[in-house]
Structure 1
Amino acid sequence: MSTEAEGHGFSGAAASRLHERLAGLPQAEAAGIRYLQVAGDALDGLPLVLLHGIGSGAASWLPLILAVGSSRRMLAWNQPGYAGSGALPRTRVKATDYAKVLICWLDAIGIDRCQLVGHSLGALIAAAAAARHPQRFSSLLLISPAQGYARLPAEERQRRLFERMERMRRQGPAAMAAERAPQLLSAQASEEARAWVEWNMARLDPAGYAQALQVLGQGDIVADLKFWQGPMHIAVGTEDRITPLAGCAELADALGCALSLIPGAGHASPVEAPAVCAGLVDQMEALGKEGQSFTRSSPAG
């Protein structure tokens, strides 16, 4: 059994703490997907499945996993093309292709139903899966959800995608991470949070990243979720510069679900404010059991 911490060049005090935490969390592989897992010791409750964003990987969920605790069974996947998971075989891909892989992976590890959490691009994939397989998910928690570029004018959509791909081509993952990772956090983020976000981004595979950009370019989260009838909630950091509060509030209104604010957190709130995010996970677990939706709430913190 191996761990996500092996052979990835940690340095410094903050990174050393990450190494220790990663070393204690095993990873596995099924259906071509590598994932982190916590077995959980609770006798009841559904598994918690975590889908990361475009600039990270399964390890980005570690602060949240630690905050939730060892009682829950938790699984954080590395999506296709990330951290050793097999890339999608098709040249042109969209969110539904990732959703199909998600369902195949859940089948392979024997999960018929789970609580689903998606962060950023992971929210687009979660939406595509839930729209097509609603019986597989008890609830959806979308943290700083990417909404996709499908509703943008074609010229603007292409400009955004080109800029992101050109940055990766020009800088490579490590240099891009050093420049961009701070933008995913608030100005008050801890040294550990900064190191964690940058380390995850520095591990990106440019080919996997390019495929994921297609999901962003063609994604339309509103179209996927307009028929979702189960419990759903959106959360966003008040300092999020990637998927700002205003856009997340508009999305919550469009979908008829509640919005929680994560005070003082940037885009990578599961890293920067894991305790607040864990509280939302717990609330959504309870609502999933009851089959209810959140009412509009005050800030989560």
Structure 2
Amino acid sequence: MTIYKSAAGAQLLRERYLDALRAWPVPHDEVRVPTPEGETFVLASGPAEAPPLVLLHGSGSNSAEWVPRIPSLAERFRVYAVDIIGEPGMSAETRPPLDSDRYARWLEAVLDHFGVAGAAFLTSSLGGWLALDFAIRRPGRVTALALRCPIGLGPMKKGFVVKAVLLALLGEKGRRKSVAGTIGAPETSPVVEHQLLVSANYRYRTGPFPVFGDAALGRLTMPVYAVAGAEDAMVDSATTKRRLEAAGAAVDLVPGTGHLIPGEADLEFLTRVASNGDFTA
């Protein structure tokens, strides 16, 4: 089954993405990488000799999510913004089983294509789950993790699903309220408008994401920093903080903030790690 609700919806989201790519704020290469899971679309920006940094976006999104941050990131790093497979970007629609090593083999193929032995990862939500899975399975390929509202650490809150279903019964107004509450943004926000468009045309992944056990988190040997919203409607951020700190990570909870995290606190972490020589190409 296609990940889109209709061919017209797929075309609409693709056109929106192409518009965003035309606004990519720095010189870049658009690369289509062959992988075991199908073609993967990657935008490469920044000096070729700079430390490598892989960007993994959130669910229902694509690399356009990073447009506001690319100028500051590309000053310091060779940035590889990867469209996650099975998401509404320009990569293959493949969705391997989450309890397999196929996502790890997919990311490994992407790094191999660019000749990157090890890279730091900057991620959002779903991208954090994928980066953690990769770091646990391939610790030698990950030099640092910067995680924004990661999933797979604390339990997903059941209440937000029930609330979303009830609000959906109220039509457009209810759906807008649901999306705004889920991501923690005003109902009139452009982010909410975009997510409403996506949800009208795209089939989100269903089923819970596997939660990483303590033994698995113990295999994270690289520097790890995470930031999460204290008022996240989807994820138990307090548990995320507790479990990551037990594994040696540094974690900030942002008060009064939901799943959409403002600011660039992770940039300071990544720059510090790079300046200490803890990650290289």
CA contact (8 A) 1:27 1:34 kept: no
Does 1:34 pair with 2:40? Answer: yes
Pair 114,73 (structure 1): closer, same or farther in 2 beyond 3 Å: same
Residue 268 (structure 2) aligned to one of 282, 286, 295: 282
Q: 1:122 is aligned with what amino acid? A: G
Structure 2: how far apart are the matches of 1:283 and 1:93? 29
Pair 93,69 (structure 1): closer, same or farther in 2 beyond 3 Å: closer
Structure 1: how far apart are the matches of 2:109 and 2:77? 22
Structure 2: how far apart are the matches of 1:147 and 1:246? 13
**Shift, 1:139, TM fit:** 0.4
- Equivalent runs, 1:148-297 vs 2, <5 Å: 178=176, 180-188=178-186, 191-199=189-197, 201-202=199-200, 204-206=202-204, 209-210=205-206, 213=207, 216=209, 218-220=210-212, 222-262=214-254, 264-269=256-261, 273=262, 276-277=263-264, 279-290=265-276
3-state SS in 2 of match to 1:240: coil
3-state SS in 2 of match to 1:8: helix
Structure 1: how far apart are the matches of 2:107 and 2:175? 26
Q: In structure 2, what is the equivalent of residue 86 of structure 1?
A: 92
CA contact (8 A) 2:20 2:64 kept: no
- Equivalent runs, 1:11-160 vs 2, <5 Å: 21-25=20-24, 27-31=30-34, 32-40=38-46, 42=47, 44-82=49-87, 83-88=89-94, 92-94=97-99, 96-147=101-152
Structure 2: how far apart are the matches of 1:226 and 1:122? 20
Taking structure 1 as the reference length, the TM-score comes to: 0.67
Q: 1:231 is aligned with what amino acid? A: P
**Shift, 1:130, TM fit:** 0.9
Structure 1: how far apart are the matches of 2:196 and 2:60? 9
**Shift, 1:256, TM fit:** 2.5
More helix per residue: 1 or 2? 1
Structure 2: how far apart are the matches of 1:187 and 1:222? 32
CA contact (8 A) 1:120 1:143 kept: yes
Q: In structure 2, what is the equivalent of residue 296 of structure 1?
A: none
Q: Percent identity?
A: 22
CA RMSD of aligned residues (A): 3.9
Q: Deviations over 1:175-198 (max 9, x none)?
A: 997564313433558723333444
